[in-house]
Amino acid sequence: MFDSLTEKLNFAFKQLKGHGKLTEKNVAKGLKQVRLALLEADVHFRVVKRFIADVKERALGQEVMESLAPGQQVVKIVNEELTDLMGAKHTDINLAGAHPVVVMLTGLQGSGKTTSAGKLALYLRNKGRRPYLVSVDVYRPAAIDQLKKVAGQIDAPVFDTDPAMKPIHICQAARTAAALAECDTMILDTAGRLHIDDALMKELKLIKSTLTPSDILFVADAMTGQDAVNSAKAFDSALDIGGVILTKMDGDARGGAAISIKAVTHKPIKFVGVGEKPSDFERFHPDRMASRILGMGDVLSMIEKAQTMVDEKKAAALEKKLRANRFTLDDFRDQMIQIRKMGSLSDLLGMLPGVGKKQIRQLKVDDRELVRIEAMINSMTLEERQRHAIINGSRRKRIAKGSGTSVQDVNRLLKNYTRVVTMMKKFNQGGMRGLGRGMLPF
């Protein structure tokens, strides 16, 4: 989402870093480019004005002017101010109260509320909660069925909403059902509209006053830019929301909503949707997002994603095999499956410092490569997977034919596998737990 902004900011910083000593004129010129980059990214103009003023005041201070590397100091200041602008630190969902606590999702039609309800349910379940999904949208014919489908994908309990009932009665009946099902968290997927109207707000206020939710989250489509910010402000005025879920953060948009929404509404972004899968849902960390925007990567989020997806028992078993030098092609395939669970290779590489869309294009990253690797290994016999050295020319032809690949693909797989085994042997004595879980073999 921020590729264009990142590229323009880095261009501005490159010019600032080119000066051994900065003057007020240099700073003003650099910050003008930063201001234009933010405005082009659809950041709210008042937010940009205040941000530039704050950065300029600090950039002309002693910490920069007397520094040995003034350009780097300006980048540091921009990073800190950008982090503060987006909320300084992560704010978690509020789940305080008697069970079942109610989390109310609000937003305009098409913002991604139903999908976010499922993603939030999966997130909470992974945290040890017992979520219960409820659709309160009796106006959109497919809304109830859509939530049931989402619930089925993650195997979560869902209330059998009767569209003939009034929304408030649905909420009351669902709370009783959630308690009987011994669920501790009720997630309400409320109705939306194509635009804000009095009838919608009246209904939402009634639900709020009746159920007293522990948290009200406004779901906003990041690709709608300032429209998302303005809608969030309107919903907050009516309902006093607790925070924001920003969806479609993986889209090719300018990203201004992520930067502006906290500054305009004074309510934090708590979660972001970063893909179509139920697991593509992350806590929002302003400091990490600022690092991504400035091209510094987000290694912490990458580590958290790995910890969530990796099977610890398999990791421990892998460590034992590494110590005994018994890392087979079966183990190699299992590592590929673990990597696939973490998301696309492009997304993972994008979390590394200095790796942008341009560099990823140059690397020619192809997510289908992992699928091909799995297919080739599955086409091998058990003996071949255990003893790769026996795979001669005729065996390679058979494996290629069985997996729909070429002999060259099989050759490359075996070459990369032996390279990974060699690397692992070098680290073996160091006892680096789970070394293989983050290694990309191509």
What whole-number distance in Å separates Cα of residue 425 and Cα of residue 419? 10
Residue 236 confidence class, pLDDT cut points 50, 70, 90? very high
- Residue given tokens 């669920």 in the structure block: 183
251: left (phi over 0), alpha (psi -120 to 50) or beta: beta
Tell me, rounded to whole angstroms, the distance of Cα 19 from its chain centroid.
36
The one-character DSSP state at 107 is -
- What are phi and psi for residue 389, nearest 5 degrees? -65, -20
DSSP-assigned letter for residue 106: E
Q: Is the per-residue pLDDT at 368 higher than 90? A: no
Domains by residue range for the chain, with CATH: 3-85 (1.20.120.140), 101-296 (3.40.50.300), 303-438 (1.10.260.30)
Q: Please tell me the distance from the alpha carbon of residue 278 to that of residue 171, in angstroms, as a whole number.
A: 24
Distance of CA 86 to the CA centre of its chain: 16
Give the pLDDT band (50/70/90) at residue 433. Answer: very low
CA-CA distance, 46 to 67, in Å (whole number)? 30
Q: Is the CA virtual torsion 46, 50, 55, 61 positive or negative?
A: positive
Sign of the CA dihedral with 249 first, then 252, 258, and 261 last: negative
Are 256 and 5 spatial neighbours (Cβ–Cβ below 8 Å)?
Answer: no
How many Cα atoms within 13 Å fall on the side-chain side of residue 284?
Answer: 25
**Strands, DSSP E only, in 224-359?**
243-247, 269-273, 281-283
Read off the pLDDT of residues 257-294 as tens digits, 9 standing for 90 and up.
888 888 888 999 999 998 888 988 989 988 888 887 87
Q: How confident is the model at residue 349 (pLDDT cuts 50, 70, 90)?
A: low
Q: 381: how many CB neighbours lie within 10 A of its CB?
A: 13
What letter represents residue 190's amino acid?
T
212: pLDDT confidence band, cut at 50, 70 and 90? very high
CA–CA dist 432, 436 (Å, integer): 9
* pLDDT (average), residues 360-373: 64
The confidence score (pLDDT) of residue 363 equals: 44
Cα–Cα distance for residue pair 375/392, rounded to 1 Å: 18
Average pLDDT over residues 414-421: 82
Burial 93-123 (b: 16+ CB within 10 A, else e): bbbeeeebbbbbbbbbeebbbbbbbbbbbbb
Q: Is 379 within 8 Å of 329 (Cβ atoms)?
A: no
Query: Residue 141, preceding bond cis, omega within 30 degrees?
Result: no
Q: Encode burial over 402-425: b for 16+ CB neighbours within 10 A, e otherwise.
A: ebebeeebbebbbebbeebbeebe
pLDDT at 313: 65
Confidence of residue 424 (pLDDT cuts 50, 70, 90): low
State both tokens at 328.
């087979």
CA dihedral 61, 62, 66, 69 (to 10 degrees): -60
